[in-house]
Amino acid sequence: MDLNLKKDRNVRRKPSIDVSSLVYGKIPPQAKELEEAVLGAVMLEKGAFDTVIEILKGECFYVEAHQIIFSAMTRLAGKSMPVDILTVTEELKSMGQLEQIGGPFTVMKLTNMVVSSANIEAHARIILQKFIQRELIRISGEILTESYEDTADVFDLLDSAESKLFEVTNNHLRKNYDSIDRVLVNTMKRIEDLRNKGDDITGVPSGFPSLDKVTYGWQPTDLIIIAARPSVGKTAFALNLARNAALHPRFARGAAVFSLEMSSGQIVQRILSAESEIKLEKISRGKLEEYEMKKLMTHGIERLAKAPIFIDDTPALNIFELRAKCRRLVHNHGVGVIIIDYLQLMSGSADGKGNNREQEISKISRDLKGLAKELQVPVIALSQLSRDVEKRKDGNKMPQLSDLRESGAIEQDADMVMFLYRPEYYEINTNEMGESNKGETHVRIAKHRNGQLDTIKLRAVLEFQRFEDDGSLENPGGGGNPFTGISRPQQGGGGNDEAKLYIQKGSKMNDMDFDEGFEDAPF
């Protein structure tokens, strides 16, 4: 009997196991004490809420009661009321959530956690850091779960993951304000650089001197809308802009073309037609004479061999995919201008499902403007016009800002809105003097946030998919660009093996290698 008792005592004396090593879950990143300190400081000192609201949102708090209290504070601030213990308590009562957070004692206890708001900004940033960590854990868990599903498309998963991560960045990591002295230094440096440059073009050249005289080139961070009725020549004009920028001797950056309407092959055929002065119809059908084939090789392919033009023909491209692709193009290839053909074919959501089409277009235009600011490059988006132009009874078919299709937000978000108008499109074949106006194209700048409004006349030679400064048809082609006056830099080599454009096909399989996704496609 004694022996058994002794054995029992020995069992009891065994050291206890550390249970922390057996815990399967992990506590999410959090800072409860700092949350209490921030909320308490806001109720103690006037103006503290203004500091916090620039950093935090209600969802950033880990404790649900703290989220509710911060929501009450936000409502008070929205009504221009003071934020203190009494007002917060009353607001929680009116919201019917006072008892849910633990009653008035919980609100009063928060002010005991802090003496002043001296370090409130640092505390708020730590809370934000913990929230972002929790969001990354949540998103990673969702991606992990979805990745195990056999029915999930891997590229849809990539798009979803990228859009979720971008949403965290876009909603919670915002740029702070700059003091004027700091901005002045950068502004004066830019002015000095432009002054020493001695060139009227301060942005990306369009290749049309009469247009550059008004715009000074496409400016970084600008969203430019080019709108017209179907078959007026929007795509041809946009491709002229891409080609002129990429081949300009003083503009060393490339152009990206996102074509939602045509395939990359059709786009390249149009560029070849404009460069070689061979009719697009003959190139498309392959009905070329021997001398035309030689001309295509020497005046088309050879010149375009090293042109930094990047083409993506992914159909139904959404704004999340576009943003990701543009970032890689700018970062990896130094692209200096982005062209989208055309805006109404884009999708505003990653799943391709939108609620109201007008709201979706509004979101797309806002995001395109944000993209231009983020990447510091001009974004040129083509847009369709509504049929209201055709319904006018006064005979004036020149497009107006109100004719932009599907959303007035396009007009608001754009830094520049340009309309293409060809009189012969409406069977007006002579001008006021009775002279033929074949190919005459009016480029009307209807909105210019940072410059003057004007109408520039160009001439469309659509059989060659090209636009020219009005009156320059007499200038024959051959060496260089006949409608811009730009002389091409000599391209090395002369064989077909060097004739390459950078093309990303519509298949998302090409996105697997982000550094080499824009594969070289030999002709």
Kindly report, residue by residue over 158-192, the tens digit of the pLDDT.
Answer: 877 877 887 787 777 665 666 777 777 777 887 77
DSSP 8-state assignment for residue 436 = B
DSSP 256-308: EEEESSS-HHHHHHHHHHHHHT--HHHHHHT---HHHHHHHIIIIIHHHTT--
**pLDDT confidence band for 147 (50 / 70 / 90):** confident
| DSSP bridge partners of 277 | none
Burial 221-239 (b: 16+ CB within 10 A, else e): bbbbbbbbbeebbbbbbbb
Report how far residue 402's alpha carbon sits from residue 388's, in angstroms, rounded to the nearest whole number.
9
Report how far residue 44's alpha carbon sits from residue 237's, in angstroms, rounded to the nearest whole number.
61
**pLDDT confidence band for 130 (50 / 70 / 90):** very high
Whether the predicted pLDDT of 126 surpasses 90: yes
Whether the predicted pLDDT of 290 surpasses 60: yes
Report how far residue 497's alpha carbon sits from residue 305's, in angstroms, rounded to the nearest whole number.
9
Provide the annotated active-site residues: 261
**pLDDT confidence band for 353 (50 / 70 / 90):** low
**pLDDT confidence band for 320 (50 / 70 / 90):** confident
Report how far residue 72's alpha carbon sits from residue 83's, in angstroms, rounded to the nearest whole number.
9
Whether the predicted pLDDT of 465 surpasses 80: yes
Mean pLDDT of 40-49: 86
Question: Between 16 and 235, where is the model more confident?
Answer: 235
pLDDT score at 89: 92
pLDDT score at 388: 74
| Tens of pLDDT, residues 401-418 | 877 766 677 888 888 999
Report how far residue 502's alpha carbon sits from residue 361's, in angstroms, rounded to the nearest whole number.
29
User: For residues 346 and 322, is the Cβ–Cβ distance under 8 A?
Assistant: yes
User: For residues 291 and 340, is the Cβ–Cβ distance under 8 A?
Assistant: no
User: Which residues, other chains included, contact 27 with Cβ-Cβ below 8 Å and sequence gap of 6+?
Assistant: none
Report how far residue 214's alpha carbon sits from residue 455's, in angstroms, rounded to the nearest whole number.
9
- % of the chain at pLDDT higher than 70: 80
Mean pLDDT of 457-464: 82
Token pair in block for residue 397: 């078919």
**pLDDT confidence band for 198 (50 / 70 / 90):** low
Question: Between 343 and 391, where is the model more confident?
Answer: 343
Mean pLDDT of 426-445: 79
Whether the predicted pLDDT of 80 surpasses 60: yes
Helical segments of 79-229, H only: 85-95, 104-111, 120-147, 154-172, 180-197, 209-215
pLDDT score at 501: 53
User: For residues 299 and 276, is the Cβ–Cβ distance under 8 A?
Assistant: yes
User: Which residues, other chains included, contact 400 with Cβ-Cβ below 8 Å and sequence gap of 6+?
Assistant: 419, 446
pLDDT score at 502: 54
pLDDT score at 406: 64
pLDDT score at 493: 37
Question: Which pairing describes strands 254-259 and 454-461: parallel, antiparallel, or unpaired?
Answer: unpaired
Backbone angles phi, psi at 204, to 5 degrees: -80, 125
pLDDT score at 64: 92
Q: In what order do the strands lie in the sheet with 335-341?
A: 466-469, 454-461, 440-448, 416-421, 223-228, 379-384, 335-341, 254-259, 309-312, 500-504, 520-522
Q: Is residue 421 reached through a cis peptide bond, with omega within 30 degrees of 0 on the bond before it?
A: no
User: For residues 28 and 134, is the Cβ–Cβ distance under 8 A?
Assistant: yes
Longest Cα pair distance anywhere in the chain, in angstroms? 128
Question: Residue 72: left (phi > 0), alpha (psi -120 to 50), or beta?
Answer: alpha
User: Which residues, other chains included, contact 133 with Cβ-Cβ below 8 Å and sequence gap of 6+?
Assistant: 28, 29
Mean pLDDT of 289-306: 76
Query: What SS3 string covers 338-385?
Result: EEEECHHHCECCCCCCCCCHHHHHHHHHHHHHHHHHHHCCCEEEEEEE
Tell me the range of 66-75, 299-308, 341-350 where mean pLDDT is highest.
Answer: 66-75
The SS3 call for residue 232 is coil
User: For residues 325 and 366, is the Cβ–Cβ distance under 8 A?
Assistant: no
Question: Between 411 and 432, where is the model more confident?
Answer: 411
**Across the chain, what does the average pLDDT equal?**
77
Mean pLDDT of 430-446: 80
- % of the chain at pLDDT higher than 90: 10
Whether the predicted pLDDT of 399 surpasses 50: yes
User: For residues 153 and 511, is the Cβ–Cβ distance under 8 A?
Assistant: no
Whether the predicted pLDDT of 477 surpasses 90: no
Q: Which domains are present in the chain? A: 24-171 (1.10.860.10), 204-348+357-469 (3.40.50.300)
Whether the predicted pLDDT of 59 surpasses 80: yes
pLDDT score at 340: 92
| CA 303 to chain centroid | 30
User: For residues 386 and 403, is the Cβ–Cβ distance under 8 A?
Assistant: yes
